[in-house]
A and B are shown apart, each in its own frame.
Chain A
Amino acid sequence: MSRTITTTDKKPAPRPDVIGGHTLSMFVNNQPGVLMRICQIFARRAYNIDSLVVSQGRDPRFSRLTLGISGDPAGLTQIILQCDKLIDVIHCYEHTADDSVTREMALVKVSVEGGEKRTEVLQIVEHFGGKTVDLSESSMIIRIEGASDKVDAAIRLLTNYDIIETVRTGKVVMARGEQST
């Protein structure tokens, strides 16, 4: 018997020993194996990587990483220093909501058999400034962009309809003003 996997995004119960919502940005060498070095630092210290975005930098020798992480709050500073210590990491910064902007995108496939449902879903999409990127007789794919909590809210509302699956890009971060990311 196959296990049912829920692809809707319900918030897990909060755990006091774990901090979530911390966002790290790293500027790293664009080479095979660099991600492995970084991930091992988190895994060894029982941190979870909640989201991860990697892409080539403007200078193709380097890559940008944005990591959303959760784990024991006491170890966070040390983890940042350990990442920074890697030869392949040029720098590693932690960003808070105050000093940075974060954005992510989600694609949500919703089952919309019947015109009434479709209209309701389209209203939600419009409210969140989303877009319909695919439409068929039985389903539609919606694109939602924005800060993570906005994406969360949209998906929560859509959960009232029949979500077939969701895919999120994970957040990207950029420091505000003069500060570098």
Chain B
Amino acid sequence: MANTQSAELDGAQALIKTLDSLGVEYVFGYSGGAALPIFDALETVETNMKFVLTRHEQGATHMADGYARATGKPAVVLVTSGPGAGNTITGIMTAQMDSVPMIIVTGQQVTWMLGKDAFQEADIFGITIPVVKHNYLVRETNDLPRIAKEAYHISTTGRPGPVLIDVPKNISQSPYTGNFDDDLAAELDLPGYNPQKAMEVDEVSLEQAARLINLSKKPLILAGHGAMIAGAEAELMEMANKLECPVTSTLLGKGVFPESHPLSLGMLGMHGTAYANKAICECDLIFNIGSRFDDRIIGQADKFGAQAKIIHVDIDEAEMGKMIVPDVEVVGDAKAVLQQLLPMVEKADHADWLEHLNGYKKKYPLGYKKQGGLRMQQVLDEIHDLTDGNAIISTDVGQHQMWAAQFYTNDASFKWLSSGGAGTMGFGFPGAIGAQFACPDETVISVSGDGGFQMTLCELATAVIHKLPIKILVLNNHYLGMVRQWQELFFDNRESGVDLEGNPDFVKLAEAYGAKGINIKRPADVRKKLQEALDYNDGPVVINAECIKTDNVFPMIPAGAALEDMLIEPPKYKMEKPVGST
């Protein structure tokens, strides 16, 4: 790589140098005409950044997403204009819904052709406004360092999210005539954005929260992704222990409080544990730390926590009262809030309440039948066992995701990567690639169904070429299982658009890409075959588990129904169609 004097930088080089100086480690991308100057800058500028060529732009976004979920740091997605940029939308939306930092740089037509339907021109600035935290269309070459710095800052602070920078080709290839060192050193000027405010928590709201906590006889902590992003694990543990308070977590909060801890009730919500959902119904205080009360966990809003006072701690003021109107709103960073609240709460003894909930744990344990064929739950249970629950799990969306959430319990943050808000099929495998790049020494397991895996499986080439030892678990029931479950329960078992007839032979497919392939067909073989996959570290391994076709996930709360109407086992009567969507 040739060294370039800063005096001779073009816009693209100034951009790449800035991203490098910000500490970006990985660029995931796919080249194209309008991005040529930026791709060239990757070659002409000496940086510490590593570029990964993906096989589809959506894969690049999920890789950056998986990288960020496993590290808390953003990666860059670099794509061209038009269709290249358009293919990133799903991945950007996925990151936005789950508060994941990401910087997307898109090439663009030259400025004088914008709005003229030029070749590969798309108004990606306009298209992405609803799915980004912020975005830019760069109009001056000398603005590039400032904009890259702002993008990084906005993406990573406060409630994180994706920030897109659209760079017309004439802007990236024109000479940069600013003073690069001055631009790098310049203070940011963002009068409409003050994430520092989250550290200064309103005293009155803290006092009100402490009062409710100290009055509570049956408290319940609801820990969300916000607690994880804030790095509040230690404070959360101290709070739970001091209050003797059970803790349930959201799908994205899995691991922020160890699920093996006696105070943990596991995940709540639509397919959460029966005891977590019963605790929500019976507790007298819901102490929500960093969850946005997603509709998957609250069910019917007016019946949620009907017996309980509610404290909502969230860094994003716009979440207050959006789904649930709390008794006390505490706007702030979860760690800062807990640190200030800890000395204000009294040590408590809730032995009766815990014993009551332990009764539910004994009465309604998560389980599955060991007879009647291979079940996804068994595969997940055994891989949890074989990896001591320490692997990084990246899932797709559907039945396998919910069973993975139930059976792959997590004891640490940043090890459970799953598209929660957006519910993006195709996330799991490229998400795992990003995580494996981020954490080369950890076991990374991609958990997909046969549907989702086929959406982004072209990234097998990416995984093979980088010899990433990802364990790609394809839980194959030849169905879009979750949709089929709904059709069975609510649509008289009329199957429509769910039969994945025509699936390839996944083992042969893996081998065609130069990966290893393993089939699991019998329950008795699961352990041995999984161990074989875990022992193979020369590259990716696809484990195709042929599972029974028509299993259903329970417990289940039909969308929009109240938590108290949870189904713990298959219903014996015909179900009403749910009022909520999906």
Chain A residues near B (Cβ < 8 Å): 28-29, 32-33, 36-37, 40, 44, 77-78, 81-82, 84-91
Contact = CB atoms under 8 A, between A and B. Distances in A.
Contacts of A87: 133-134, 154, 190, 192-193
B191 interface: yes
Nearest to A85: B318
A32 B115 CA distance: 14
B395 to A, nearest CB: 28
Contacts of B133: 87
Interface stretch (B124-132, B200-208, B303-311): B124-132
Given A87-B192, A90-B191, A44 B130 contact: yes
A28 B191 CA distance: 9
A82 B322 CA distance: 10
A88 B189 CA distance: 11
B193 A81 contact: no
Contacts of B154: 87
B134 A81 contact: no
Given A33-B137, A89-B192, 11 more contacts: A29-B192, A36-B126, A36-B129, A78-B318, A78-B321, A82-B318, A87-B154, A88-B134, A88-B192, A90-B191, A90-B192
A33 B322 contact: no
Contacts of B190: 87
Contacts of A78: 318, 321-322
Given A33-B129, A36-B129, A86 B192 contact: yes
- Which of A29, A33, A84, A89: most chain B CB closer than 10 A? A33
A177 to B, nearest CB: 24
B238 interface: no
A33 B126 CA distance: 8
Interface string B274-317: 00000000000000000000000000000000000000000011
A105 to B, nearest CB: 30
7 contacts: A29-B191, A32-B137, A33-B129, A81-B318, A84-B317, A85-B316, A89-B192
Interface string B102-128: 000000000000000000000001100
A5 to B, nearest CB: 29
B380 interface: no
A29 to B, nearest CB: 7
Report the interface size class on chain B: 10 to 19
Contacts of A91: 192
Contacts of A77: 321
A63 to B, nearest CB: 12
Nearest to A92: B192
Contacts of B317: 81, 84-85
Interface in B504-537: none
A106 to B, nearest CB: 32
A44 B130 CA distance: 9
B156 to A, nearest CB: 14
B186 to A, nearest CB: 16
Nearest to B126: A36
B320 interface: yes
A76 B133 CA distance: 21
Contacts of B134: 87-88
B103 to A, nearest CB: 14
B163 to A, nearest CB: 9
Contacts of A85: 316-318
Nearest to A91: B192
A81 B192 contact: no
Nearest to A89: B192
A82 B318 CA distance: 6
B318 A33 contact: no
A59 to B, nearest CB: 10
A40 B125 contact: no
Nearest to A88: B192
Contacts of A88: 134, 192
A78 B125 CA distance: 24
B130 A40 contact: yes
Nearest to A32: B137
Contact of B125 (A33, A81, A82, A86): A33
A15 B130 CA distance: 29
Nearest to A44: B130
A87 to B, nearest CB: 5
A29 B126 CA distance: 17
A77 B318 CA distance: 9
Contacts of B318: 78, 81-82, 84-85
A82 B134 CA distance: 13
A32 B165 CA distance: 14
Contacts of B193: 87
Contacts of B192: 28-29, 86-91
B324 to A, nearest CB: 12
Interface in B138-157: 154
A84 B316 CA distance: 11
Contacts of A40: 129-130
A87 B192 CA distance: 5
B170 to A, nearest CB: 17
A37 B129 contact: yes
A89 B191 CA distance: 8
B389 to A, nearest CB: 37
A77 B154 CA distance: 24
Contacts of A82: 318
A82 B191 CA distance: 16
Nearest to B190: A87
Contacts of A90: 191-192
Nearest to B320: A81
A120 to B, nearest CB: 49
Contacts of B321: 77-78
6 pairs of A and B residues whose beta carbons are closest in the complex: A81-B318, A87-B134, A90-B192, A87-B193, A85-B318, A82-B318
Contacts of B191: 29, 90
Contacts of A84: 317-318
A36 B130 CA distance: 10
A35 B546 CA distance: 52
Contacts of A37: 129
Nearest to B323: A78
Contacts of B129: 33, 36-37, 40
B269 to A, nearest CB: 22
Nearest to B130: A40
A40 B125 CA distance: 13
A101 to B, nearest CB: 26
